[in-house]
Amino acid sequence: MAGLRRLVLDVLKPHEPSNVLLAVKLSEMENVEGVNLLLREMDQNTETLKITIVGDNLNFDKIRKILEEFGAVIHSVDEIVAGRKIVESVKTEQD
Amino acid sequence: MAGLRRLVLDVLKPHEPSNVLLAVKLSEMENVEGVNLLLREMDQNTETLKITIVGDNLNFDKIRKILEEFGAVIHSVDEIVAGRKIVESVKTEQD
Amino acid sequence: MAGLRRLVLDVLKPHEPSNVLLAVKLSEMENVEGVNLLLREMDQNTETLKITIVGDNLNFDKIRKILEEFGAVIHSVDEIVAGRKIVESVKTEQD
Amino acid sequence: MAGLRRLVLDVLKPHEPSNVLLAVKLSEMENVEGVNLLLREMDQNTETLKITIVGDNLNFDKIRKILEEFGAVIHSVDEIVAGRKIVESVKTEQD
Amino acid sequence: MAGLRRLVLDVLKPHEPSNVLLAVKLSEMENVEGVNLLLREMDQNTETLKITIVGDNLNFDKIRKILEEFGAVIHSVDEIVAGRKIVESVKTEQD
Amino acid sequence: MAGLRRLVLDVLKPHEPSNVLLAVKLSEMENVEGVNLLLREMDQNTETLKITIVGDNLNFDKIRKILEEFGAVIHSVDEIVAGRKIVESVKTEQD
Amino acid sequence: MAGLRRLVLDVLKPHEPSNVLLAVKLSEMENVEGVNLLLREMDQNTETLKITIVGDNLNFDKIRKILEEFGAVIHSVDEIVAGRKIVESVKTEQD
């Protein structure tokens, strides 16, 4: 395993098509092992999501395209994990 | 294993039929491995529940139908996990 | 294993018969694997307990009957776990 | 294994005989696997202890008698675990 | 294994002889498996230490004697674990 | 394994080239097992990152050079782990 | 294994020579298994570090000498672990 292994995305999305469809669609991409989609905030027309995608050699551009097909926009990429091994962030005295 | 693997639902429900019946009913659905039903708030006529359902290829529409048979409404879908692997949400500096 | 697997009950009970007797009695029921009885509050005549019961195909009505034999009343059922697998509640951004 | 498996006691005790002796004495009772004695508060003549006793088919009356031999009184039984399996208390939204 | 298995001591000690020497000395006692010496507070002439000693059939009197050889005094015995099994304190609603 | 095993860097970087590219680039260096890149703050022109790099005999100068190729500057090295074994920082009473 | 097994040092050090060099140097000492060097505070001329050293029969005097070669001073020894087994500090009601 190598390349992109985990991405955490902050995403703005209209209510439809549904988040259930989006999660399943992302999970069916090549190289994706699993997807966690968390609802952060729900407004009248949009919702803010935190999406965690785990896999091997993830293709960031294809992920962004699928999000766009759902009318969603990536606000920020909050975490990127890459390499042979999944490395967790370590808490330091500066946190 | 694939498709929907875990759902966390915020649900409003009348007191009857009982939550014990609802939990057992959901746990007996095809592809469901287990159900956790947590009482969030209890009012005079209704209660707010947090329901976590784990399984393989969960059928969201059938789950909603069973909830409707109990007079319950899904307020929001707070978490959706999909794919071969159950992915947990990762804490980032933005949380 | 299936059916009711874990129940968390909020219970009001007179001091006598003792909680030690109640815990042992519940633990000796058919299908019960173990019982945790936690003292929440103690008043002059009554005490509030949090009772966690783990097993397989738990019989909620029989549990309630035993509680009644001890003069105890279930205030609320705070958690219900059902199914082949014990599912824990997941922390979401809505908690 | 069955019966009483773990007890958590809130105990008031004079300074002498010493807590070290009490802990060893309790740990040497039949069916007791281990004892944890935690100092909660120390006053001029007495101390408040939290005593956790783990075993199989614990004999509550004999435990109380040993405590009395040390001049100690049980204020409350804060937790009782019984059954084939040690069940931990589960955190719910009501805690 | 039996008898005293773990002691947590609150200790007042002059700066010299050094804590490094004290920790090694305690760890070399018969039946002692390991020692953790934590600095709580440092004043001009003394320091407050939290000392955790793990072993089998620990000899409390000999431990006190070694502490006295270092000019140290036990303020309180904050935890005592005894028996065949190391039992941890359980968090209850009274904590 | 020996030498530098883990580095936690506080880094200031312009938006482009992207963090995804940076994470993959670092993860492809010799001796690097994995990289975690966490977004701390995003400003108009720059972003602050926390980068954790795990491996064996990490080459700090080469890591700094790659960061410079991305226009990034190391503000501080918040944690350094070296040796045969990855040692975690221990919480003491002084933290 | 015996003697000093883990030391946690609070250290004041000038910026140069670098912390990366110091961590690697300490990790290459005889009997040292690994080193964790955490940046606590950075001032204009100095930095405060928390250094955790793990090994077997650690030589405290040699460690202090290496620190002195880097112009560093030990402010306090916050934790000392000694013996056959690494003992962690236990949380008590007095903490």
What confidence tier does G1 reach under pLDDT thresholds 50, 70, 90? confident
Classify residue D54: in a domain, yes or no: yes
Strand partners, G81: E36, G6
Tokens 């004043």 — which residue? E43
**B-interface mutation test, from A37, A46, A63, most B Cβ less than 10 A away:** A37
Collect all residues of chain D within an 8 Å Cβ-Cβ radius of residue E53: none
> Quick count: other Cβ atoms within 10 Å of Cβ B33?
18
CB contact under 8 A, G81 and E39: no
Residues with Cβ within 8 Å of residue F1, at least 6 apart in sequence: F56, F57, F84
**D-interface mutation test, from E80, E88, E93, most D Cβ less than 10 A away:** E80
Residues with Cβ within 8 Å of residue D88, at least 6 apart in sequence: C36, C52
Collect all residues of chain A within an 8 Å Cβ-Cβ radius of residue C92: 38-39
Of all residues in chain D, what percent carry a pLDDT higher than 90? Answer: 94
**G-interface mutation test, from D11, D37, D38, most G Cβ less than 10 A away:** D38
pLDDT score of E93 = 85
DSSP output for D60-85: HHHHHHHHHHTT-EEEEEEEEEEESS
Q: How far apart are CA B60 and CA B81, in angstroms?
A: 12
pLDDT score of E57 = 97
Locate the chain E residue with the closest alpha carbon to F95.
E40
Neighbors of chain D with 3 or more C-beta pairs under 8 Å = B, C, E, G
The packing angle between helices D60-69 and D19-27, to 10°, is 150
Closest listed residue to residue B89, CA positions, set G1, G62, A36: A36
Q: Are D58 and D31 in contact (CB under 8 A)?
A: yes
Locate the chain G residue with the closest alpha carbon to A95.
G40
pLDDT tens sequence across A70-94: 999 999 999 999 999 999 999 998 8
Neighbors of chain A with 3 or more C-beta pairs under 8 Å = B, C, F, G
pLDDT tens sequence across E21-49: 999 999 999 999 999 999 999 999 999 99
pLDDT score of C73 = 98
Above 90 in pLDDT, residue E95? no
Give how far Cα G94 sits from Cα of C47, C59, E67, F25, F94, Å. 28, 43, 20, 49, 15
Distance to chain E for C56, nearest Cα, Å: 25
Query: Any CB–CB contact under 8 A between E1 and chain D?
Result: no
Give how far Cα D84 sits from Cα of C5, D5, D77, Å. 15, 8, 20
Q: Are strands B32-42 and C4-14 parallel, antiparallel or unpaired?
A: unpaired
Classify residue A89: in a domain, yes or no: no
Tokens describing residue G22: 């110091």
**Counting one residue from B and one from D, how many pairs have CB atoms under 8 Å apart?**
7
Give how far Cα G70 sits from Cα of F60, F61, F81, G20, Å. 19, 20, 18, 11
pLDDT score of E73 = 97
Q: In total, how many domains does chain B have? A: 1
Q: In the predicted model, what is the mean pLDDT of residues B39-58?
A: 97
Name the DSSP class of G95: -
Q: Is C35 helix (H, G, I), strand (E, B) or coil?
A: strand
Q: Do chains G and A touch (3 or more CB pairs under 8 A)?
A: yes
Classify residue A87: in a domain, yes or no: no
Classify residue F87: in a domain, yes or no: no
CATH number at residue A14: 3.30.70.1340
Amino acid found at G74: I
Q: How far apart are CA D74 and CA D82, in angstroms?
A: 19
**A-interface mutation test, from F6, F24, F92, most A Cβ less than 10 A away:** F24
Q: Are G39 and F77 in contact (CB under 8 A)?
A: yes
Tokens describing residue B80: 């959706």
Judged by CB atoms within 8 Å, which residues 41-80 of G form the interface with F? 42, 50, 52-54, 76, 78-79
pLDDT score of D1 = 85
Above 90 in pLDDT, residue D95? no
- The shortest CB-CB distance from G84 to any of E23, E33, E76 is to E33
Locate the chain E residue with the closest alpha carbon to C39.
E93
Q: Which residues span the domain enclosing A75? A: 4-82
Classify residue G56: in a domain, yes or no: yes
Q: How far apart are CA A84 and CA A95, in angstroms?
A: 26
Mean pLDDT of chain B: 96
Mean pLDDT of chain A: 96
Q: How far apart are CA G4 and CA F59, in angstroms?
A: 30
Q: How far apart are CA A95 and CA B75, in angstroms?
A: 35
Classify residue F88: in a domain, yes or no: no
Of all residues in chain F, what percent carry a pLDDT higher than 90? Answer: 94
Name the DSSP class of F2: -
Of all residues in chain B, what percent carry a pLDDT higher than 90? Answer: 94
pLDDT score of D11 = 98
pLDDT score of F71 = 98
What confidence tier does D94 reach under pLDDT thresholds 50, 70, 90? confident
pLDDT score of F95 = 82
Q: Which residues of chain F have pLDDT under 50?
A: none
Q: How far apart are CA F14 and CA F40, in angstroms?
A: 13
Q: How far apart are CA G35 and CA D5, in angstroms?
A: 42
Q: How far apart are CA E22 and CA G20, in angstroms?
A: 31
Classify residue F89: in a domain, yes or no: no
Above 90 in pLDDT, residue D50? yes
Above 90 in pLDDT, residue E9? yes
Classify residue D95: in a domain, yes or no: no
